Amino acid sequence: MKNLLNKFGLQRLIVAAITAISSVCMWGCYDDPCDDMEYRWTGPTEKKIVGFVNDSFAIVAHANRWSYEADCMCSGERFGLGRWTIGVYNYREQLDGPVFVDSVDDGYGQYMYVLGQLSDSVVWGGNTDPNLLVWKNATSFSFWKIGEKPHIIGVRQSFDGCSVSFPIVSLREWTDGAIFAKGNLTAGNDSCQYAVLDTVSGVLTYKRLDEDLMWIQKCDDVRAWGYDVYCSLPGKRPLEGNILKNEKDTILAPLVFSKGIFWGNMIELRANICNLGNQEISCLDSTFTWREPLKFYKGNDVVVDLE
């Protein structure tokens, strides 16, 4: 019996101690929310190309990392990205720096202003987790046009014929002035396959493909231009890719490729950045290629380094 009393007495003592420590932590954090802690800028992120304006200029972006360590038992070190910067660089000719640069001084914010390219002069982002680099269950999108400040649109999600959403990796221009988000176009059951953002109402509607769009299931990348839908269709074998318009029309390309990637009004084919027209694709120089994050080659020689 004495041993039991000692045992239960010790347990009560341990529980009381844990409760006391928890209370100090809880009340300490409420009394001292650590707002007076000093933030530290810890350096810029690596620059990366996030878009192409035309056959001469690229959009390059980077942010600055910040952190602080809260002087509070319930907090810890926190991290984030802020002071986003975009620059327009000539990637055909080596210059000393960008021909245009702009930035957002949002202090120690958490907003991801640059997640990808929407159109020739607009990059998109959102209030999402900076560690994921995708838009997932966030409440707004941002659209940053070159020469202007980011425009933020509040978003309300809705579902049409499906119930399971997906992380948004890219946004593309769509018909009727809407914006297209591609998910897994072959997803089954209740999974949504794509989404459409109405920029006027701010409603992001998740959907499944209907009969009119079923043909884009095999597309690696999809976008619209006016009322026409363009699709990058991989071939059955390497270097047998095609660019389709409205399912049946093939856009002529000056070189063979496996996969096309849309960059605004440009398209990437085998490391070549080419113009996408409504009848054909044109490339200035098939020997001029983009092989590394910020380097462009002429043959085997680096001719432009945007670093």
In a domain, 66, yes or no: no
Could you tell me if 265 and 226 are in contact, meaning their C-beta atoms sit under 8 angstroms apart? no
Per the structure block, which two tokens stand in for 283? 């490339």
The answer on 230 and 196 residing in a single domain is: no
Which amino acid type is present at position 155? V
Predicted pLDDT of residue 37:
64
Which pLDDT value is given to residue 14? 42
Which two tokens mark 110? 């958490």
262 and 226, same structural domain? yes
Supply the pTM of this predicted model. 0.85
| Per-residue pLDDT, 106 | 82
Q: How many domains does the chain have?
A: 2
- The model's pLDDT over 138-166, given as tens digits with 9 standing for 90+, comes to 899 999 999 999 999 999 999 999 999 99
Based on the fold, state whether residues 199 and 229 are members of the same structural domain.
Answer: no
Q: Which residue has the tokens 């120690």?
A: 108
Q: In which band, very low, low, confident or very high, does the pLDDT at 41 lie, cut at 50, 70 and 90?
A: confident
Is the pLDDT at 208 greater than 70, yes or no?
yes
In a domain, 34, yes or no: no
Mean of the per-residue pLDDT values for the chain?
A: 88
pLDDT over 50 at 15, yes or no: no
Same domain, residue pair 161 and 232? no
Q: State the pLDDT at residue 72.
A: 56
The H or E element containing residue 16 is helix 2-31
Q: Write down the pLDDT at residue 44.
A: 93
Q: Which domain holds residue 173?
A: 156-210
Residue 24 lies in a domain: no
Q: Choose the final residue of a domain: 210, 232, 252.
A: 210
- Are 106 and 114 spatial neighbours (Cβ–Cβ below 8 Å)? no
Residue type, 16: A
Task: Choose between 34 and 272: higher pLDDT.
Answer: 272
Q: Average pLDDT in the 114-119 region?
A: 97
pLDDT, tens only, 49-72: 999 999 999 999 999 998 877 665
- Coil, strand or helix: which one is 48? strand
> Looking at the domain assignment, is residue 183 inside a domain?
yes
* Residues contacting 29, CB < 8 A, separation 6+: 72, 73, 74, 75
Q: How far is CA 30 from CA 33, 35, 74, 108, 168, in A?
A: 6, 11, 10, 22, 36
Give the pLDDT of residue 233: 97
- Give long-range contacts, CB 8 A cutoff, 24+ apart: 270-275: 273/52, 273/55, 273/91, 274/55, 275/54, 275/55
Q: Are residues 301 and 223 in the same domain?
A: yes
Query: Does residue 225 sit in the same domain as residue 253?
Result: yes
Nearest to 45 by CA among 114, 100, 138, 142: 114
Q: What is the pLDDT of residues 248-293, one digit of tens each?
A: 999 999 999 999 999 999 999 999 999 999 899 999 999 999 999 9
- Torsion sign over Cα 97, 103, 108, 111: negative
pLDDT at 21 over 80: no
Model pLDDT, residue 275: 97
Residue bearing the bigger pLDDT, 133 or 180: 180
Q: Measuring CA to CA, how many Å separate 236 from each of 180, 242, 259? A: 26, 11, 11
